[in-house]
A and B are shown apart, each in its own frame.
Chain A
Amino acid sequence: MGFPREADDHAEKLRWRGVPGVGDGSKDVSNDQQPNRNSGAEVSISLPSITGKILAKVIEYCEKHVFDFKQGGPGEDWDREFVNVDQAIIFDLIRAADYLAIQGLLDLTCKKVAAQMANKSLEEIRKLFNIENDYTPEEEAAVRQEHPWAFFD
């Protein structure tokens, strides 16, 4: 079972063969093109916003989780190592998992992002995610004051 694809740097077309237990295809695919999980029929889906590199990662996840499905999945260690990547890749993986509706990958990447916020001050979180602070100092103080116990900086 594979994911034959047209070799291209920005994988614009993907031949998707229905894969049981993992995602059910892109959100944008119209009904008569939806891959049927058990049919084994090939369907073309265009993926304009996903690079070849990210798609390769997504496929790696899907193959691992499908092939090891009967053993209960590849395990937490494999999952943890899979998301041990640059911030930019995590961002793209979240978007891809959401677009392709792959719940397991979406949960894994969101959980990773949540774990990254633990034990960090606000400034560290803003720096890691490149978020601009759009609060005035007074506004930020007011928000912190709602639950002052949670802040250690």
Chain B
Amino acid sequence: MGNWSELPRDLLRSITSFLPIADIHRFSSVCQEWNFVSKERTHPPAAQLPWLVLTDHEITKKRIFYNMSEKKYYKFDIPELHGARCHGSSFGWLFAVGPRLETHLINPFSGAKHSLPRLPPYNVKREYHDDYLIEYGYIDPCILEPCIFSYERMQRIIVHKAILSADPNKCTDFVLMIMLNGDHRLAIWRVGDKDWTVFKENRYIEEITCFKGQFFALLANHKFATVDVGPEPKLIKHKQCLRECTDWNARYFINVSDISLLLVVRRTKKDENDDEHFTTSEFRVFELYLEEFEAYEIEDINGNSLFLGRNSGIIVPSRKFSGCRENCIYFSSDACDGLPEEKYGYDDMGVWSIVDETIKPLFEPNVYISPTSCPIWLVPNPW
């Protein structure tokens, strides 16, 4: 037959444009010519459905990733992810907190990393001991009260969510914003900062997003705020909205390519057999109009699908991917407001149909996943 090794480079490049990320790496190892072409990186990897970042493998301790399109597990040996909790996933980068509260921003598919400063204390100060932490805060204005936490508990609760303003692959002036747990105070970090900049205001924040380069926050009393990340970071409140969205347990913003903003609300219900165990029962989707700060419920999302959880919301054109159901919300577990995280975890995952209002299972894992783990969606962004 024809000599494949003599295929001209421009045809090899065309072929690589259809290869998803795992296949590109295998392609690049076949022979030296194919390696040369793949390293040129003339195309990003062919898109697939978002991946799920699961837990450490029981024996090898490598991080298990699940590829929804291929229905395959892959194991990544990334030291910063050993025993780490991922509290954010944005532009293909993970925000991870390690067992001793070491904090990193990592791109698992490119290997790029940023080491981050120690997370700020909830209140006045934090002391690190061998087996526990002490948080100091003023309960009484004159008395500094200590409160003891285990590292394991603190690792799970310390950050509620983390998002990026821009793709760190493409720039270094991005802003990393986190919601600290407790009162969900905001803090930000930029490349080169030695410490986090913590917002002075003590306001319970429910959800944050970056839309057209501007950060927005949803506050506990259903108010919106614009977030100013200038030299004196602050929140600028707007009038009340989302009157219909009371009594929901979690809220998510989805940035639809900087064109429109969706708000999704999630409700959980108690298990019949366990008063403290909760699983998701329904979702509602709203389109936001920022000029008026109004939200209008919508009944379908134009044949797209959403991927929600601790990650920055992802929207996917379902028709481009076989096996992806239209007008559905693929959700992973997430700590709902005020509930003990150890009471639900990876079992709160599924696919919600916006049209039928039903939930179907996401997939049946055949690897061990710790019950308190929080699987998180990730869209590979290697270059």
Query: Which B residues touch A12, using CB under 8 A?
Result: none
Decide yes or no: A95 and B2 within 8 Å by CB, A118-B23, A149-B75 being known contacts.
Answer: yes
- Chain B, Cβ-Cβ closest to A113: B15
**Known A94-B7, A95-B2: A149·B31 in contact at CB below 8 Å:** no
Task: Note all chain B residues with C-beta closer than 8 A to A111.
Answer: 18
Nearest Cβ on chain B to A127's Cβ, whole angstroms: 11
Given B5, B11, B30, which contacts A94 in the complex, CB threshold below 8 Å?
Answer: B11
- A150: shortest Cβ distance to chain B, in Å? 4
A122 within 8 A of B: yes
Given contacts A110-B11, A114-B23, contact A92 B2 (CB under 8 A): yes
Q: Which residues of chain B from 1 to 32 have a CB within 8 Å of any chain A CB? A: 1-5, 7-8, 10-11, 14-19, 21-23, 25-32
| A106 touching B14, Cβ below 8 Å | yes
| Least CB distance, A122 to chain B, in whole angstroms | 6
Assign chain B's interface to a size class: 35 or more
Query: Among A115, A130, A144, which residue has its beta carbon within 8 angstroms of that of B29?
Result: A144
- CB contacts (< 8 Å) of A92 on chain B: these are 2
| B381 touches A (CB below 8 Å) | no
A87 / chain B contacts, CB cutoff of 8 Å: 1
Q: A95-B2, A118-B70 are in contact. Are A134 and B31 (CB under 8 A)?
A: yes
Q: Are A131 and B14 in contact (CB under 8 A)?
A: no
Other-chain contact of B1, A98, A118, A130, A150 (Cβ < 8 Å): A130
| CB neighbors of B among A133-152 (8 A) | 133-135, 140, 143-144, 146-151
> B3 contacts which of A114, A121, A130, A143 (Cβ < 8 Å)?
A130
Contact B35 A143 (CB under 8 A): yes
Query: Chain A residues with Cβ under 8 A from B4's Cβ?
Result: 91, 129-131
Q: Cβ of B26 and Cβ of A131 under 8 Å apart?
A: no
Considering the chains assembled together, what is the distance between the CA atoms of A140 and B18 in angstroms? Answer: 24
In the complex, are the beta carbons of A132 and B5 less than 8 A apart?
yes
Check if A150 sits within 8 Å of B2, measured CB to CB.
no
Contacts of A148 in B (CB 8 A): 77
User: Considering the chains assembled together, what is the distance between the CA atoms of A5 and B11 in angstroms?
Assistant: 28
Q: Which secondary structure characterizes the binding site on chain A? A: helix
Q: Which of A98, A107, A117, A130 has its CB near the most chain B CB atoms (within 10 A)?
A: A117
- Majority DSSP secondary structure for residues of B touching A: mixed
* Complex-state Cα separation, A111 to B70, whole angstroms: 16
A79 to B: closest C-beta gap in Å:
14
**A119 — nearest CB in chain B belongs to which residue?**
B70
In the bound assembly, the distance between CA atoms of A121 and B239 in angstroms comes to 58
* Distance in angstroms between the alpha carbons of A130 and B76 in the assembled complex: 31
At the interface, yes or no: A41 with Cβ under 8 Å from chain B?
no
List residues of chain A with CB within 8 A of the CB of B74. Answer: 149-150
Known interface pairs A91-B1, A110-B15, A114-B18. Does A135 touch B76 (Cβ–Cβ under 8 Å)? Answer: no
A131 to B97, CA, bound (A): 44
Chain B nearest CB from A125 CB (Å) reads 5
Q: Please give me the residue from chain B that is nearest to A89 by CB atom.
A: B1
- Whether A122 and B25, one on each chain, are in contact in the complex, defined by CB atoms closer than 8 angstroms, is no
Bound Cα distance A115, B77 (Å): 27
- Residues on A with beta carbons closer than 8 Å to the beta carbon of B70: 118-119
CA distance A111 to B17 in the complex (A): 8
B46 within 8 A of A: yes
Nearest CB in chain B: distance from A120 CB, A: 7
In contact, B28 and A143 (Cβ under 8 angstroms): yes
| A residues near B32, Cβ cutoff 8 Å | 134-135
Bound together, the chains give a CA A86 to CA B31 distance in angstroms of 23
A132 to B70 alpha-carbon distance, docked (Å): 28
Q: B residues within 8 A CB of A121?
A: 26
**A–B pairs, 6, beta carbons within 8 Å:** A86-B1, A95-B2, A110-B11, A111-B18, A134-B31, A147-B25
Question: A-contacting residues of B (Cβ < 8 Å)?
Answer: 1-5, 7-8, 10-11, 14-19, 21-23, 25-32, 34-35, 46, 65, 70, 74-77
- In the A-B complex, the 9 residue pairs with the smallest Cβ-Cβ separation, listed nearest first, are A88-B1, A114-B18, A91-B2, A150-B25, A129-B4, A147-B25, A110-B14, A150-B22, A143-B29
11 further A-B pairs in the complex, CB-CB below 8 A; given A122-B29, A151-B26 = A88-B1, A88-B2, A113-B18, A129-B5, A130-B4, A131-B4, A148-B77, A149-B65, A149-B76, A150-B22, A150-B74
